[in-house]
Chain A
């Protein structure tokens, strides 16, 4: 069980207001814990100053691994381990292996990248999620501030959120 934390939650009913609020929080130096949205809001990650994901690098590494494995297996099997004569064709038939090399590259890159995605997000079947509010997968947006250590921050954050147009502000312990 993970430890419980106390959050101050500001609920917004519009993505533009949310973006504005996030911008304001960053500028004012308020440390946002997380932002929850029902759909990908463009520009949010830039405004929050999140580090761009490196998921594509993982994809490249997996793809390259797949390519090397496919090529080596075919070269080993056809030219070394069991050189079989198919109608006098060359044993080391690189052009004929390209389709399989391509397929395995795509297969490894995709499966690898998807696995990395779920691993990084710590999502897995049967996970017990920390749901701030059920409306966050529907039509509401939220900014959360971590106030576990210092509850006195709550008042300042509340004022800020209200000022930025939050429709609801509440504390939540999960």
Chain B
């Protein structure tokens, strides 16, 4: 059951691949000698991660007094980093779920790696949530279970508890979605190994004994579609609930109804930027240029442009509403963001998120690898500052001027943040070595619609058809 796609569309798989070549190209990433570059990168990220763990242990031993937070600025880098990581974790499931529902075929090239990234980012985010409670060994108190303290249940009316459920559901569902997609590809890797070897056994264990039976594929496709349907509102709900952490409070600058859509757009924006950063490096190092093409990058840049513009519009709307509200405190909160002691953070945010993505209106820049890489890093910096601006500048001058203060991070906070980047990179590098980085089965299923050679054949056929003569047959023309 093929479907018609304009022959003018660019192919999503370059290089006239056959099914066998697709298998070989992607399995090659998991076989062969371990590269020096990979070892070096993993070593460095591992060390950074270890330093992060050291700072984490330091915090647990000496308490969050080792951080720069104080009674006015009670949330600072911890929550900034938490929201930043959760936001990054939004692209993966968006690509695999929402784009699956919208039948966007370009998702197949990047969905696997993006989903992996999602999971690793959410793990990093989870660390900050547990740590910011101050007593991470008591973190299980946030779960509702019958206990000897009353039983004193958790406060189900609190957005912070909603967050616990949202993040853990998101992590679980993303993990299930990702792993179920991986199962057939693990079987492909297994069958390329020598029967009975350790490698064969390892991948057979991971693929649950998959053999590719028609009935299994039918269930697998049905499962993927329904999981996508469930994950789509889930993605939107997660960052909505994260924004409720702020929006349902009465802090000036936080208490706004625009926050949920603004946060969701920002999350997708930063998530896609992180996918770009990683994929531009990965496609080069792992020689996946035929699968993750410039067309893929351009599509993602369009999403970045759209969501960046949404975020920018939200910034301006916020300013307008603060002025229009007539509330002195609300007006001051925004004036303080732009011209107060943290003005530089505000203007970094504005220029990185509102102004910079506008360059993507230019097609040449959307299709430039170097510019995209540069822009993706700028966006990630901008989005970190967005959260910093929202959290720290709103808190440091509250309703009571006598408690006004400032905030700067200590080495422990910086260490934990840098450490999570190390954890993230280490996990991603391990993934890229042992897992199929591109969804093999899914790429094969789009080959005959979006592969280079098929697209070319289709062009030839259309060219030969005299215009207007048999418009009806062309309308019903199918690839197979």
**Hey, which bits of chain A sit against chain B, CB under 8 A?**
15-16, 34-45, 48, 50, 52-53, 55-56, 59, 63, 73-74, 77-78, 81-82, 84, 86, 89, 93, 96-97, 99-100, 102-104, 106-107, 109-111, 113-114, 117-118, 120-121, 123-132, 134-139
Contacts and interface: CB of A to CB of B under 8 A. Distances in A.
Contacts of A131: 191, 211
Contacts of A107: 165, 168-169, 172-173
A2 to B, nearest CB: 12
B157 A96 contact: yes
Given A38-B441, A77-B144, A103-B165, A139 B223 contact: no
A114 B153 contact: no
Given A16-B480, A121-B216, A113 B444 contact: no
B226 A59 contact: yes
B273 interface: no
A59 B213 CA distance: 22
A2 B220 CA distance: 24
A60 B242 CA distance: 27
Contact of A35 (B1, B173, B190, B213): B213
B200 to A, nearest CB: 10
- Give the bracket for the number of chain B residues in contact with chain A: 35 or more
Given A36-B211, A104-B169, A121-B216, A134 B205 contact: no
Given A45-B215, A77-B153, 16 more contacts: A34-B214, A35-B213, A37-B217, A38-B184, A39-B441, A40-B445, A103-B234, A104-B165, A110-B172, A114-B180, A121-B213, A124-B209, A126-B204, A129-B204, A137-B188, A139-B19
B306 interface: no
Contacts of A110: 172-173, 176-177, 227, 230-231
Contacts of B217: 37, 39-41, 44-45
A107 B152 CA distance: 24
Contact of A82 (B152, B191, B233): B152
B442 to A, nearest CB: 7
A109 B191 contact: no
Contact of A45 (B156, B214, B223, B448): B214
Interface in B183-215: 183-184, 187-188, 190-192, 195, 204-206, 208-215
B219 A55 contact: yes
B219 A78 contact: no
A99 B165 contact: yes
Given A40-B441, A104-B169, A132-B211, A138 B19 contact: yes
A131 B159 CA distance: 50
A125 B208 contact: yes
Contacts of A113: 223, 226-227
Interface of B: 1-2, 18-20, 23, 144, 150-157, 159, 161-162, 165-166, 168-169, 172-173, 176-177, 180, 183-184, 187-188, 190-192, 195, 204-206, 208-223, 226-227, 230-231, 233-234, 237, 241, 244, 440-442, 444-445, 448, 480
Given A99-B166, A131-B191, A40 B220 contact: yes
Contact of B1 (A42, A52, A56, A109): A42
Given A55-B226, A114-B223, A130-B211, A99 B144 contact: no
Contact of B183 (A74, A99, A123): A123
20 contacts: A44-B217, A50-B214, A55-B219, A55-B226, A59-B226, A84-B152, A99-B165, A100-B161, A100-B165, A104-B165, A106-B233, A107-B172, A111-B172, A117-B220, A123-B208, A125-B206, A129-B210, A137-B188, A138-B20, A138-B23
B94 to A, nearest CB: 15
Given A82-B151, A84-B155, A99-B237, A123 B210 contact: yes
B153 to A, nearest CB: 4
A130 B195 CA distance: 12
B212 A53 contact: no
A134 B194 CA distance: 10
Nearest to B206: A125
A31 B442 CA distance: 29
A118 to B, nearest CB: 7
Contact of A99 (B162, B172, B448): B162
B206 A136 contact: no
A44 B214 contact: yes
Contacts of B183: 123
Contacts of B448: 15
A121 B210 CA distance: 9
A48 B213 CA distance: 12
Contacts of A89: 157
A34 B153 contact: no
A20 to B, nearest CB: 11
Contacts of A15: 448
A93 B158 CA distance: 11
B208 A96 contact: no
B278 to A, nearest CB: 25
B236 to A, nearest CB: 11
Given A81-B151, A110-B176, A43 B1 contact: yes
